[in-house]
Chains A and B, each alone.
Chain A
Amino acid sequence: MLSIAEIKRGLFSYEEVSGGFVASFKSAGELLKAAEKTRQANVKQFDCFSPCPIHGMDKAMGLNRSWIPVLTFIGGIMAIVLGLAYIIYIDVFNWPIVFGGKPFFSWPAYVPILFELAIYFASVFTVVGVLVLGRLGFINRKPPVKGVTSDVFAIWLGDKNLTRSDVERILSGLNAQIEEVKS
């Protein structure tokens, strides 16, 4: 069984870049190759940092499919079900009044409202999902090297047993600038 503390750690903390090595590159292409090589070298703890999203990075790093679409779907469905229940409670039970000769439960008139609610909650669930799964909101978090929000493409290899020569071997053939990270 997962304890609450474990779930909290799993969802509401981020992977600290401490220990291991950071290799920086000048282009997205090199970082993509570096990620591929790092994964093939069976490094367990690693992450890439870049100023922009890079096509094919998920595959190169071997990331699982994102859960975000599932959250979006849940948000949308939830909004429709709860919204409809609320409207039925109001129009049929709490305040049954005839408007323009229409039945108390006049569902076609509810479509626009339920549609807007679905969009709203689907969007909110999507964004909250990204904040949680993408580990955003820890405002003191610092990039591992300077410039990854500008023009540097970097990969961090964090496994404890790695040495500098291991990293050099894994990233051989690429134009990497390797730095050790203090733990």
Chain B
Amino acid sequence: MATEKSVYHIGKPFAAMDDDVMRPIEAFPTKLWWGAFSVSAALALLGVGTILYSFAVGLGIFAINNPVGWGFFIVNFVFWVGIGHAGTLISAILFLFRQKWRTSINRAAEAMTIFAVIVAAIFPAIHIGRPWFVFWAFPYPNERGPLWANFRSPLLWDLFAISTYFSVSLIFWYMGLVPDFATLRDRFERYKAKSKLGDILLQMKALTYKALALGWVGSAKTWHHYEKMVMLLSALATPLVLSVHTIVSFDFATSVIPGWHATIFPPYFVAGAIYSGFAMVLTLMIITREVFKLKEYITLKHLENMAIVILVTGMMVSFAYTVEFVMAAYSASHVEQYAFINRLKGPFAWAFWIMFTCNVVSPHFMWFKSLRTNIKVLFVISIVVNIGMWFERFVIVIISLHRDYLPSSWDTYNPTWADYAVLVGSFGIFFTLFLMFIRTIPSIALAEVKADEANAALSHH
């Protein structure tokens, strides 16, 4: 315990911590923020514009065809859901394992989860072709027959998994924010607006945070129930997050497509999700700590820990790739065997080799302490890993679909401008949401950081 305290101990007065964490919210945004925001908002507009255009003219602007009916939509969907998993891992699983270092990255990682799931949910909605009927997927009593959803379909399981995951993550995140919103609410007294308009805006802002704080006063009688809730929600979110990517993998594994029909898919997908999610947390945390001067809270040690998680999950993913090949070789099914030869040598072999280089080779740089404590190296690797993980989903979806059983049904897949626009737009939407989050919501879980500091002091006296 003693060593842990010395590494993660911030050792500042609580009021100074408030100032540090609230600074991005209270100060006028920097030029860097405006620059980043303009770029991501422009990309987001491109994505949203393309999506709206596709609603007007139909799915023909995308490259999906027969046999590659899933295309970029499902590649992006699985990619973004996977990104989300690291947030829950940090907020729930590392909480249950009493990993103190999670505290200061918890809030931003969970925000990332929520935004990633929002972005992910866009893709199946476009993919169904008539998104204005998306509510038909929910099993509610209706006047279309009786006509119900099919409870035996993994796609319906997925709907339940993603909506539960989003709702539970959102309420978990919001409840964690309530004490910090109260801190923010009580800071508004000190501000004076210079103009009349400024005053109205300030009042509106103060009222918003007051409402969000739910009348939190830090009463021990509330903390008493609140702490139980944090523990229980973590215990619920842990199996939930594992179930979500398990169910996403069922979308593939319960089908008969060669390369998909494998029992290793659930653990393989979960490991991949944590791998890419941690890489994304690393990218975002490096940016956040540099831009918003939060280096005392998000230390090099935090980044190093995340790098180690990336190394471990990266090796799990590599292991899963190997197992897939061994199973195919051993399956005595020439269709299954061909699916994997096609990965290595087929028209999309370049995608496989990008995936292999990024996911299997690059995490091994993390064995060296000098590299995993070098921020530039970490930043590059974190992006490389996510490129690799996007291509992993590309390999799974596109390569398996474009050549399955009957050679007469084989075809190729050429993404159109619209596919790329929506892909780039998804990053735009994600980063726009994240940048707005940093400006409006305490990006470090203050009450939790304070609890760690206060209780460490208690146990040392």
| A55 contacts the other chain (CB 8 A) | yes
**A119-B236 CB under 8 A given contacts A52-B447, A149-B183:** yes
Within 8 A of A (CB), among B39-73: none
Q: Judge whether A139 and B164 touch: CB under 8 Å.
A: no
Q: Judge whether B182 and A149 touch: CB under 8 Å.
A: yes
**A134-B139 CB under 8 A given contacts A106-B152, A146-B186:** no
**A148-B218 CB under 8 A given contacts A68-B225, A119-B168, A126-B233:** yes
Q: Judge whether A133 and B225 touch: CB under 8 Å.
A: yes
Q: Which residues of A are found within 8 Å of B160, using beta-carbon distances?
A: 112-113, 116-117
- Closest approach, in angstroms, between the C-beta of A13 and any C-beta of chain B? 12
Q: Looking at the complex, which one of B147, B167, B179, B232 makes contact with A95 (CB distance below 8 Å)?
A: B147
C-alpha gap A104/B146 in the complex (Å): 16
C-alpha gap A138/B450 in the complex (Å): 25
Q: Count of B residues near A, CB < 8 Å?
A: 69
Q: Which residues of B are found within 8 Å of A181, using beta-carbon distances?
A: none
- Closest approach, in angstroms, between the C-beta of A50 and any C-beta of chain B? 5
| Interface range, A side | 35 or more
C-alpha gap A87/B178 in the complex (Å): 36
Q: Which residues of A are found within 8 Å of B236, using beta-carbon distances?
A: 72, 119, 122-123, 126
| A49 contacts the other chain (CB 8 A) | yes
**A51-B179 CB under 8 A given contacts A124-B171, A134-B221:** yes
Q: Judge whether A49 and B450 touch: CB under 8 Å.
A: no
Q: Judge whether B217 and A102 touch: CB under 8 Å.
A: no
Q: Judge whether A48 and B219 touch: CB under 8 Å.
A: yes
Q: Looking at the complex, which one of A28, A115, A135 makes contact with B222 (CB distance below 8 Å)?
A: A135
Contact with B along A108-151 (1 / 0, CB 8 A): 01101101110110111011011101111111111110111111
| A91 contacts the other chain (CB 8 A) | yes
| A66 contacts the other chain (CB 8 A) | yes
C-alpha gap A149/B461 in the complex (Å): 24
| B216 contacts the other chain (CB 8 A) | yes
C-alpha gap A178/B102 in the complex (Å): 37
Contact with B along A2-18 (1 / 0, CB 8 A): 00000000000011000
| A90 contacts the other chain (CB 8 A) | yes
Q: Judge whether B164 and A66 touch: CB under 8 Å.
A: no
Contact with B along A29-63 (1 / 0, CB 8 A): 10010010000000000011111111111100101
Within 8 A of B (CB), among A153-179: none
Q: Judge whether B451 and A53 touch: CB under 8 Å.
A: yes
**A50-B223 CB under 8 A given contacts A94-B148, A109-B151, A146-B186:** yes
Q: Judge whether B218 and A143 touch: CB under 8 Å.
A: yes
- Closest approach, in angstroms, between the C-beta of A165 and any C-beta of chain B? 25
Q: Which residues of B are found within 8 Å of A32, using beta-carbon distances?
A: 458
Which of A126, A133, A146 has the most CB atoms of chain B within a 10 A radius of its CB?
Answer: A126
C-alpha gap A29/B457 in the complex (Å): 8
Q: Looking at the complex, which one of B178, B215, B226, B458 makes contact with A140 (CB distance below 8 Å)?
A: B215
Q: Judge whether A141 and B447 touch: CB under 8 Å.
A: no
| B324 contacts the other chain (CB 8 A) | no
Taking A95-B147, A116-B160 as given, write out 9 further A-B residue pairs in contact, using a Cβ cutoff of 8 Å, ordered by the A residue number. A69-B232, A100-B152, A113-B151, A119-B243, A120-B164, A127-B175, A129-B225, A130-B175, A149-B217
25 contacts between A and B (CB under 8 A): A15-B221, A27-B454, A29-B457, A32-B458, A48-B219, A49-B220, A50-B454, A52-B447, A54-B458, A55-B455, A55-B459, A112-B157, A117-B160, A123-B167, A123-B236, A124-B167, A124-B171, A127-B171, A130-B229, A136-B215, A137-B215, A139-B214, A146-B186, A147-B186, A151-B13
